[in-house]
Structure 1
């Protein structure tokens, strides 16, 4: 089904989220992926975790101190205004164009619930499965645009249906690690359409000699209907704290805020958002991204030297996608040897011959490659 635009039957509630897709006559029908499966299910205790894309380095004092101090204020209700102002300043927007959320995942749920008049939502895959899962749980009929692995999962904007009034795409995309050009994504924006760009991993894309986040649309205020989804949980190891935000037109964010529970973001999470959005936080983030680029290059180089292993495209984030026939058997063998990697067959557009591997420090990568090479030899 690679390269096909396929429709998915509408969900009638959360229990229908696993319903299979309706395909055109003559199309190949693959097993319907489990959209509810995520990397944390792979990273069971006792395994070295290369399945979850969350950085696990110690939290720096400038971030830990305000989060810890916020625990003294838990008797009061959260006040999002300081954090919203800090995030807005970081991206050159007024505070009304920022909506703080309990992680990026809540943002997808708000979009699915608030955009009740959407007629033709299209989700570009392979990508993080929560956007489609949230849409289907809210009763939307979703169409999948599957990008071609033989073209390194690159987007051709012309393939998106002109009458799609909701388009969702990741940049950089999880799990492919593809970074689409900002010009290609901007070409998808138009009046009457909501364009959702998932930039949960945008802060991992900085490279030496480049200031900022190449290809991010977070500061673009001129594109109609654009909503940028951001996460603070990956780089800063805050998955358990749940903090992210949406950027977009104030009127559209008001619609989303109306679907959000009161006080959805906790006081410690707001403190974290304020700290990370500060100049010190942004500088630290870019230094981390530069180190990550070197670690990623090392992982790609080691993987590319293994027989039968193909690294997809030019990885740009905190993970790489690899193809090898029989990869799911390799994944099971890795588990037996104490290593967890992310299976690929739960992502639409992939299958059991794909694995996603998180970027770690060179010593961890070298130990992993040694075990993987032994498994491939056997």
Structure 2
């Protein structure tokens, strides 16, 4: 890590609220969790006076079954962001150029800068057309946050092939891919996939996720990962959730149906970006209302929405999550659509 970079960097703004009186549409987490989580957590907590088994066999097996890879190709991490930092710590050195999408998850640029690297931004819509050669790392968010766009699989695979040809590792953040029926890009040679269990299973405080990699990258990540990096409760609950296929299917159906319904209503007032994710990006007409006023009005009605102006290139945008139908109805009414 570049110590000189620490003085110039700050925390990255995120959604989420701790106010129990507010319905949180600012964070993109599932409002529901799979059945059986509590007893699994309590059983794991009861044995947490011992170190977890660093092999994480049960967790790796469940993750491998979910993604379609071999167990050793799974690298357990305390959430996807911990995995992204691990990748950057190996791939990026001082002065390295890293190809990033914009607008997208702000932590990518921060992690690159923490290693002394230089982020170079390309529109998220055209990043798969960029030349990845001479970059230390290329990053793609699939589906992209905050726009919600998932990339056509042939285009993503072609970009991965060009990265391999240019000897540039590709990091694909699939934190929201479980909300779609698309297949993971892992395990593909030269590609590291980052997965989050806390979004689709509605447990962001659990901090559970994993990377998928093959070959030399798998070996490097397995060597570099922290020992006992995943807590015993997180590993147990993660393995439990990964096996809940029926829950995932119900979630996908609800999100797809509600997202379409919300988009139709919201389009009567805002520009709504097409989305494959559990959220919608809205552009606010400056002749209608200011972003600040919109956020304040929603808050007064009991709803927190995300100020998306903290993302690069966005200047009059908000992002709203897709939640349960009755909650979504309340937000739509609060936004006067």
Provide TM-score, normalisation by structure 2.
Answer: 0.89
Q: What 5-or-longer segments of structure 1 have no aligned partner?
A: 1-9, 19-34, 148-153, 206-212
Q: Is the 8 A contact 1:320 1:356 kept in 2?
A: yes
Q: Is the 8 A contact 1:203 1:286 kept in 2?
A: no
User: Displacement of 1:161 after TM fit?
Assistant: 4.3
Q: Is the 8 A contact 1:295 1:359 kept in 2?
A: yes
Q: Is the 8 A contact 1:51 1:358 kept in 2?
A: yes
CA deviations over 1:267-291 (Å, ceiling 9, x no partner)? 111112211232xx12321221111
Q: SS at 2:182's partner residue?
A: coil
Q: What 5-or-longer segments of structure 2 have no aligned partner?
A: none
CA distance in structure 2 between the aligned counterparts of 1:335 and 1:58, rounded to whole angstroms: 25
User: Displacement of 1:139 after TM fit?
Assistant: 1.3
Q: SS at 2:76's partner residue?
A: strand
Q: Does 1:164 align with 2:165?
A: no
Alpha-carbon RMSD across the aligned residues, in angstroms, is 2.1
Q: SS at 1:142's partner residue?
A: strand
User: Displacement of 1:336 after TM fit?
Assistant: 3.0
Instruction: Give the one of 278, 302, 311 matched to 1:347.
Output: 311
CA distance in structure 2 between the aligned counterparts of 1:371 and 1:92, rounded to whole angstroms: 42
Instruction: Give the one of 76, 93, 96 matched to 1:100.
Output: 76
Q: Does 1:199 align with 2:167?
A: no
User: Displacement of 1:39 after TM fit?
Assistant: 0.3
Q: How does 1:1-378 map to 2 (within 5 A)?
A: 12-17=4-9, 36-40=12-16, 44-57=19-32, 59-61=34-36, 63-79=37-53, 80-117=56-93, 119-147=96-124, 154-155=125-126, 157-189=128-160, 190-191=163-164, 192-205=167-180, 213-214=181-182, 216-218=184-186, 220-221=187-188, 224-278=189-243, 281-306=244-269, 309-312=270-273, 314-324=274-284, 325=286, 326-351=290-315, 353-373=316-336
Q: Which runs of 4+ in 1 moved over 4 A?
A: none
Provide TM-score, normalisation by structure 1.
Answer: 0.80
Q: Which deviates more from structure 2 when the two are superposed, residues 168-177 or residues 45-54?
A: 45-54
Q: Is the 8 A contact 2:132 2:138 kept in 1?
A: no
CA distance in structure 2 between the aligned counterparts of 1:305 and 1:363, rounded to whole angstroms: 20
CA distance in structure 2 between the aligned counterparts of 1:85 and 1:120, rounded to whole angstroms: 35
CA distance in structure 2 between the aligned counterparts of 1:269 and 1:286, rounded to whole angstroms: 22
User: Displacement of 1:53 after TM fit?
Assistant: 0.9
User: Displacement of 1:76 after TM fit?
Assistant: 1.8
